[in-house]
Structure 1
Amino acid sequence: MAAFVEREYWEVSVMSGIRAGLSCGICTGGLIISLALAQPVQAQDSVPGNVTAADQAQEGAVTTSSSDQSGGGIGDIVVTAQKREQRLNDVGMSISAIGASDLANKGVARAEDLVKVVPSLTVTRTQFDVPTYTLRGVGFFDNSLAAPPTVSMYLDQVPFAYPIMARGAAIDLERIEVLKGPQGTVFGQNSTGGLVNYIPAKPTTELKAGADLSYSRFDLLEANAFISGSLAPNIKARLSASTSQGGAWQKSATRDDRLGEQRFSRARLIVEAQPTSGLRLALNLNGWIDRSDTQAAQSIDDVDPVNGAIVSPALISSRNAQKLRSGNPRIADWDPNTDFRRRDRFGQASLRADLDLAEDVTLTSITAYSYLHRNSLNDGDGTAGKDLVIRLSGHIKDFSQEVRLSGVSLDRRLIWSVGGNYQNDSILDVDTFSINTDGNGFVIPGFGVFRNGVTSARSRIRSLAGYANADFKVTPTLTITTGLRYTENKNRYVGCTADSGDGELAMVFGNVQEFALGVPRTAATGQCVTLRNDPNTPPGELFSAGALDYTLKQDNVSWRGGVNWKPFSDETLLYANISRGYKAGSFPLTSANITSQLMPVRQEKLTAYEIGFKTPLGGRNAQINGAAFYYDYRDKQIRGRVTTIFGQLEQLVNIPRSRIWGVELQGTWRPFDGFTANGSGTYVNSRILKNSDGTDFSTYPSRQHADGALIPITGEEFPFTPKLSANLDLQYEWRLSSSLGAVAGVGVTYQDRSKTGLTSSNPSKPTDIGFTSTTTYNDPTFSIPAYALVDLRFGIQSANAPWKISIWGRNVGNKYYRTSVSRVQNTIVRYIGQPATYGITLGWKI
């Protein structure tokens, strides 16, 4: 592995930062407890605008009055989108809130399943096994562990700083809230697209327990259980656990072999205590262990070998075997006798303290530490030939501290909060790769050949922020909302591509140094071979071998202003808001020939304009929410290619100007007791308006083809952004007898066509899939066709006893659909969604 400069500095400074951060969190929590013990004990009502532990224990995604239930109407939905309890119809922003029963009915067990209930959300994965999320067209498709997302993930206001951490969040939930649009003033930078907040089920005073067991196609066994109750006076706890075992659904195209086995376990412990009437404490311990197989890709098309490389017969025969069975979602291929699986684990501990300083003022501290370890082996080429094998390893250490003061003033007309955040991250990201090892390797014409290499990076990220938010009720029907946050971010990065120790890559780069560039040969076996040409390179060391050592400093001011108006009644809301959010600049993880490839992109800025309404209809038998939005998008970060002395190479780039506009509609209808219809749809129109060189889209394109012809990307839509997405769910419940009830439901999810890269359309140009350009003309290969998935369910449940049994099917039409497509070495690979799955679930509760 590469010998990083100042490695000891990293280890010492990271541990010092973590110790300092933990000390800060402990001091803050200790200060709150001391203040609480110093106060006189007095009974207080729940503070409006703050969620107490007692409130949370009783809180539900849907609260329905008895009158609503008798008429089959729709009850109030309670959310904590602005870090306080509010009715959904009082919040002037677009929110999807999905309760526990709906999550279970629709099979939402992973973050990727959220597309079933949030139509403007798309979830995909890179060939490096990193999930990426796009909401209303705002996303960031990158494979680095340290890549900041545009859709942030939280567990009850505790951040999952990076998307891979949220892999096990969907266990024993009360609900999930998905907030759309920039959320920078409340939740911080890197929420330009929105955020997903997982709200776990809370401890109860009474003893409660439950479990369910599912068995489904491909011999997948899933079990979930929880137990909740009091441990002592004023102390209660809830323990949840879940495991998934089995389910190898992929079949090799060339031999009798299976892949896709799940070995995924997760657990959570929540302990809540109330030492005094004005102090509430909540300790949350959660984590997961993933030993599951990594997914194999399908090799679906022929391409010219890279640099005239000779590929193995195994690759060709495997690719041809898959093409003969094209359209079968189970067929793929991977290297034989290789253990392609993850060995990942994650743990998080958080402590929340809420102290009532006065009747309407609360001090809150949230301290969290997270650790993720990754070690996974991936077949990148989708064939039985050894064309690309990638081992991903590394870790994330994340510490965060939030302190805020919130309250209600001016005769309860003003709800306000002020606070600050501190975050300190240490990240090691390593990609060990082998290329065409059963062919003749990766050929650099005239300079040599190599088969193995290591790309690695260390990042030390520190962020400080201060914020203030307020809602002011001008009149009984008119409320103004405002927010402001200042953020300062510092990212120290050291990264390079290194020789694996066999000397081949060092020989190639040494030959380039000596014979092509005329500089001394400094590339050495087992060391960094990336050639230095970044702004920090001294003139006398230009093109010497070494790592990029660079610090990115940036700051920004996020803001939000809005108006909420209830002109007709307390039930109907009209709103308009303007908000600005930022996504931090970042460094790529890529096989870098020169250090300028590793230079960071600038932070991106998104200004959002949104108007909308929320209204019940027909005596609360229906609810309709709608919104229209326009996003002014500056410096969007995207993975592209730049022209260098080595040809066209991958690099993160900024697109100076883009825009997105769209509309969405959500509706719920309960015309009579027992029947519920939920539907939602989103239309998103995205366009690139300026090229990465700053020229206008109508005059000059920004990407270059291998033959020198310019390829226009301006005027094109964003990757992974379907124009139309929608879902519909119908459910009917009825009594079979005085002691038995039944439920039946159907769910449909639709996504329109989208692209997987910056593919341009030009009828005068031929189809092109050349390796040297990620921008291609008229190529349907690099697209995701429209698709619709249908799920069915039927269950029987005891009316008085705590048991239920259900049978279900997902993707019952066995629809063949793609999630991503990319060119990898000597193949084009496609990742496919799971085929038809059906199973049975037994559940029990007390």
Structure 2
Amino acid sequence: MKRAVIRASLLVASSIYSISVQAQADNNGANRDGDIIVTAQKRSERLQDVPLSITAVTGDQLGKQGISSAADLEKIAPGFTYRQSQNGTPVFAIRGIGFYSEQVANAPTVTIYTDQIPLPYARMAEGAALDVERVEVLKGPQGTLFGQNSTGGAINYVAAKPTDHFTGGFSLTYGRFNQFDAEGYVSGPIAEGLTFRLAARHESRDDWQKSSTRDDKSGQHNFTVGRLLVDWEPSDRLHVELNINGWRDRSDTQQSQARGYLPVSETPPATPQTIATNAALTAYPYITSNDNRLADWDPGRDYRRDDEFYQVAANIRYDVSDEIRLISISSYSHLKSFAPIDVDGTDHHALFLTQDGLIKTFTQELRLEGDMGRFKWVFGGNYEHHTANELQRTDLRGSNSQLVFGPGVAVQFDGLDLYNDQKINAKAVFGNVDFKLTDQLSVQGGIRYAKEDRDFKGCLADNGTPTGFGAVLGLPLTAPNRCVTFLPSGAPGQVVTSLNQDNVSWRVSLNYKPSSDALLYANVTKGYKSGGFGTLPAVSYQQLQPVTQESVLAYEAGFKFSLFDRVLDLSGAAFYDDYRDKQTQGSVIVPPFGNLPYLVNVPKSRIYGFELDATLRPVTGLRITAGGTYLNTRVKSPAPVASPFGEPVDAGGERLPNAPKWQIQGDAEYDFAINKDLSAFLGGSISFRTSSDAALGARTGPAGSEDWFKIDGYTLLDLRAGLEFGNGYRVQIWGKNVTNKGYWNNVVHIYDTYARITGQPATYGVTVSAKF
């Protein structure tokens, strides 16, 4: 009985721990001792020695668990959350710090890198998980080494590198909804000192969403990504890495699940078109079940995206001496996006939007780093130039597509365009030092000065048709872009303005290592995210004001232990964040268009919580990881925002959006030999999160609306089993969300309805892979 109680206690204790290190039998991404080697501080170190809260997972384990995108990291990285905007832009957050926006061209608070090469905008990261050695999720502000737009953290994908001998591999997957994925790579030498690695993946799937009102389907997936790495070592001291990568997405935009009628304009319908739309949306049979597959959209339209991305980057390292290295990282990235979106989520044409985006970025980092025993240091600078152009074309029939001038006097218009063009120049200098005071005690310090100049051009514009906004009012359509936003002069035209800001990020850390398998640390970090301009139908130039930069002052204390000869790895951290001027998507009343999405700053917030994580290897072949994060967030008063219902409210006392109080993840896998040439494995993972709100002010609406903008908590269960053959082949069967849990990761109110963005239903399939 006593042993049973002890076993049960261990299982309960392990359930509050998070996935931190997942050592693999083939040591992919690990050293000879099974330690994960990370580059979280832009140098190679054992994960156990880095005084930061990090989740690091090898590429082999990512493949087994079917983690193929940054959105999937929510299943393995405690404190990390993902939600999708209605326009398809992914929104990442760590420990409650995230930036929600429907725009293509807004930088996130969680930056993503491949081999330290930045992907500055979230949409650029879709192909980052191809053929990786490992992924590192760094939690807390990372501004001193990874730049100012890292107030939440950073994700660094480490690509599998070229080899000095010929090797290759492939993976084929077939699953539900006629899913067919094919991936492969080949690697080897080209000439003396010159090697390459070429990898590619294609993903396809038939429609998975069903119309709630008719026999119709949507949701095809069509995505292709590739990467070429070339390594050149012309001498012992010079190493050049060339990275050429790109992807194309021709998938359908995900359809939203309309749950109710919530017009953005309170003006009674006064034209035949708005009267008809009001009647149709009032009588529409809104979805009431939690079936992930149900949604609705206008019939007869093409909803395929046309998104393309490519990047060319070079990492050049020159060893000045055995202790000093000069490193240059240059990159050019190019993203073109086109997304057709049914905004209202019904079969009635209330608002249909197409979003065009074009982003070009050039980044250059130059740093000098040294390792002189007790003293390690790095000093350098960054330069970035971005051009970001976005055009939203709207075809509307809803509540705000009319102008009422008096009883019986109303004008109907059916379209307008929104322009948002920005040019960004950013410069920074930084330094970081690590000094060992004794063999056990060390201190670290880092600082970065950053300056950003952002130029903006944009406006509300007529769509060029006889029934467009400007045409029906008889406004003069000024060049460029037929702008009708009123300027200070009183004439309509294009708004031209700028936002210039600078800041100093810094970090101080005290670290104590009583042994090689133990670490205690305490950090204080200040980080910033740059400001920017939103996209909305601004009748006046005064409505196109930017959000200013936000900042986080973060305190963290943590530990990392390896116990019982690596049978048990434990780590944990407690943290407190003083969050100032948080950027988020709120609402604003824009006459005559009503209640519309708008970027706002929330003056003061605070976050505190803790994380605990463990990896247990009780017997040969069995690995159990489990973990959790507790998060307590509050907005401090005064915090004036407009709620999703259009009411001015003080959000003081509310939780931050999409910041669940508890997240728990766990995974278990048992590998065992059948004979000398055949082994098998059984595994499963579980992820749980409590409820959260989708927006500030979401609980201030009319009676009965308390849960309209609530994201319910949910638990997802994935299972897998497979055989591994001695010749390098693997056959695996798998299931995701095997309980077919109905859940959603966002609730949106862009137009006359409020709607959910649902998660995936149960999927299952088989994967065959090989390495040779």
Structure 1 counterpart of 2:486, which letter? L
1:98 counterpart residue number: 57
Shift of 1:323: 2.6
Residue identity matched to 2:697: T
| Counterpart Cα distance in 1 of 2:643 and 2:318 | 59
Alignment-derived partner of residue 715 in structure 1: 653
Task: Using the TM superposition, give the Cα deviation of residue 375 of structure 1 relative to its aligned residue in structure 2, in angstroms.
Answer: 1.3
Whether 1:189 aligns to 2:148 is: yes
Aligned with 2:542: secondary structure?
Answer: helix
For 1:609, the equivalent position in structure 2 comes to: 555
Q: Which residue number corresponds to residue 805 of structure 1? A: 731
- One-letter code aligned to 2:123: I
Cα distance between partner residues in 2 of 1:84 and 1:59: 20
Amino acid corresponding to residue 176 of structure 1 in structure 2: V
Match of 1:835 among 761, 767, 770: 761
Three-state SS of the structure 1 residue aligned to 2:675 is coil
Of the three residues 784, 807, 832, the one matched with 2:711 is 784
- CA–CA distance in structure 2, aligned partners of residues 315 and 833 of structure 1: 27
- 1:459 is aligned to 422
Structure 1 Cα separation of the partners of residues 644 and 678 of structure 2? 67
Q: 1:714 to 1:570 in 2, by over 3 A?
A: same
d(CA) in 1 for partners of 2:537, 2:646: 23
Shift of 1:247: 3.1
| TM-superposed deviation, 1:77 | 1.6
Indicate which of 412, 429, 450 corresponds to 2:390: 429
State which of 30, 35, 48 in structure 2 corresponds to 1:62: 30
Contact map agreement 1:283 1:351 (CA 8 A) in 2? yes
Q: Of 436, 443, 450, which aligns to 1:473?
A: 436
Q: Distance in 2 between matches of 1:768 and 1:548?
A: 41
Q: Distance in 2 between matches of 1:654 and 1:329?
A: 33
- Percent identity of equivalent pairs: 39
Residue 663 of structure 1 aligns to which amino acid in structure 2?
Answer: F
Displacement of 1:391 in angstroms is 0.7
1:88 aligns with 2:47: yes
Matches within 5 A, 1:118-197: 118-197=77-156
Paired AA for residue 509 in structure 2? G
Per-residue deviation, 1:269: 0.4
- 1:767 counterpart = 2:703: yes
**Alignment match, 1:517:** none
Report the Cα distance in structure 1 between the residues aligned to 2:209 and 2:595, rounded to whole angstroms: 35
Partner of 2:665: 727
Secondary structure at 2:320 match in 1: strand
Q: How far apart, in 2, do the equivalents of 1:290 and 1:314 lie? A: 37
Corresponding residue for residue 401 of structure 1? 364
Of the three residues 484, 487, 490, the one matched with 1:529 is 484
Following superposition, the deviation at residue 505 of structure 1 comes to 4.3
Distance 1:231 1:733, change over 3 A: same
Residue from 581, 592, 598 that aligns with 2:527:
581
Give the Cα separation in 1 of the matches to 2:729 and 2:749.
50
Q: Is the 8 A contact 2:587 2:644 kept in 1?
A: no
1:445 aligns to what SS in structure 2? strand
Residue matched to 1:741:
679
Q: Distance in 1 between matches of 2:732 and 2:713?
A: 30
Task: Check conservation: 1:315, 1:384, Cα contact below 8 A.
Answer: no
Tell me which amino acid in the other structure corresponds to 1:838.
Answer: Y
> What is aligned with 1:274?
233
**Alpha-carbon separation, structure 2, partners of 1:59 and 1:357:** 31
Deviation at 1:653, TM superposition (A): 2.1
2:643 and 2:662 map into 1 onto residues whose CA distance is: 31
Alignment of 1:335-350 (within 5 A): 335-350=298-313
Q: Specify the SS of the correspondent of 1:531.
A: coil
Could you tell me the TM-score, scaled by structure 2's length?
0.92
How does the TM-score come out when normalised to structure 1?
0.84
* 1:797 alignment partner AA: E
Partner of residue 499, structure 1: 462
In 2, Cα distance between equivalents of 1:202 and 1:178: 20
- 2:21 aligns with none
Larger deviation: 803-812 or 105-114? 105-114
Larger fraction in strand: 2
Alignment of 1:515-594 (within 5 A): 522=476, 527-532=482-487, 537=488, 541-542=489-490, 544-567=491-514, 569-594=515-540
Partner residue of 2:546 out of 600, 604, 607: 600
2: distance between equivalents of 1:739 and 1:469? 49
- The residue correspondences of 1:121-520 to structure 2 (distance < 5 A) are 121-303=80-262, 306=265, 307=267, 308=269, 309-312=274-277, 316=281, 319-320=284-285, 323=287, 326-409=289-372, 412-436=373-397, 442-446=401-405, 448-507=411-470, 510=473
Q: Work out the CA distance in 1 between the residues paired with 2:238 and 2:129.
A: 29
The answer to whether the Cα contact below 8 Å between 1:635 and 1:654 also exists between their aligned partners in 2 is yes
> Judging changes above 3 Å, is the alpha-carbon distance between structure 1 residues 59 and 360 closer, same or farther for their aligned structure 2 residues?
farther
Q: 1:507 to 1:739 in 2, by over 3 A?
A: closer
1:454–1:498: 8 Å Cα contact kept in structure 2? yes
SS in 1 for 2:233: strand
Aligned CA RMSD, in angstroms, stands at 2.2
Cα distance, 1:64 vs structure 2: 4.3
- Of the three residues 618, 627, 632, the one matched with 2:564 is 618
Q: Give 1:579 shift.
A: 0.6
Contact 1:572 1:613 in 2 (8 A): yes
Match of 2:11 in 1: none
1:689 is aligned to 636
Q: Offset at 1:810?
A: 0.1
Structure with a larger share of its residues in helix: 1
Give the conservation status (yes or no) of the 8 Å contact 2:587–2:641.
no
> What amino acid maps onto 1:817 in structure 2?
Y
Q: What is the deviation of 1:547?
A: 2.0
8 Å CA contact retained: 1:315, 1:387 = no
One-letter code of the match for 1:595?
A: Y
For structure 1, which segment, 452-461 or 805-814, has the greater mean C-alpha deviation from structure 2 after superposition?
Answer: 452-461
2:622: which partner in 1? 675
Q: 2:73 aligns with which of 100, 104, 114?
A: 114
Query: SS in structure 1 opposite 2:604?
Result: strand
Q: In structure 2, what is the equivalent of residue 35 of structure 1?
A: none
Query: Which has the larger displacement, 498-507 or 440-449?
Result: 440-449
When residues 342 and 507 of structure 1 are mapped into structure 2, their CA distance, relative to the original with a 3 A threshold, is closer
> 3-state SS of the aligned residue for 2:230?
strand
**SS of corresponding position for 1:115:** helix
Q: Which amino acid aligns with 2:391?
A: V
Match of 1:822 in 2: 748
Does the 8 A contact of 2:334 with 2:361 survive in 1? yes
Answer yes or no: is the 8 Å Cα contact 2:377–2:433 preserved in 1. Answer: yes
Structure 2 gaps of 5+ residues are 1-25
Shift of 1:673: 0.5
Distance in 2 between residues matched to 1:711 and 1:821, nearest whole Å: 19
Q: Answer whether contact 1:787 1:817 (CA < 8 A) is retained.
A: yes
C-alpha distance in 1 between matches for 2:328 and 2:279: 58
Deviations 1:337-390 (A, max 9, x none): 111011110000001110011110000011110101111211111111111111
Answer whether contact 2:470 2:484 (CA < 8 A) is retained.
no
Deviations 1:115-168 (A, max 9, x none): 011121111121122111111000110122221210001011000011100011
Q: How many residues align?
A: 735
Letter of the 2:562 partner, please give it: P
Tell whether the 8 Å contact from 1:663 to 1:683 is kept in structure 2 after alignment: yes
- Mapped to 2, the partners of 1:81 and 1:265 lie a distance apart of 29
CA deviations 1:313-358 (Å, max 9, x no partner) are 99549941x536x222111111111110111100000011100111
Is contact 1:597-1:650 (8 Å) kept? no
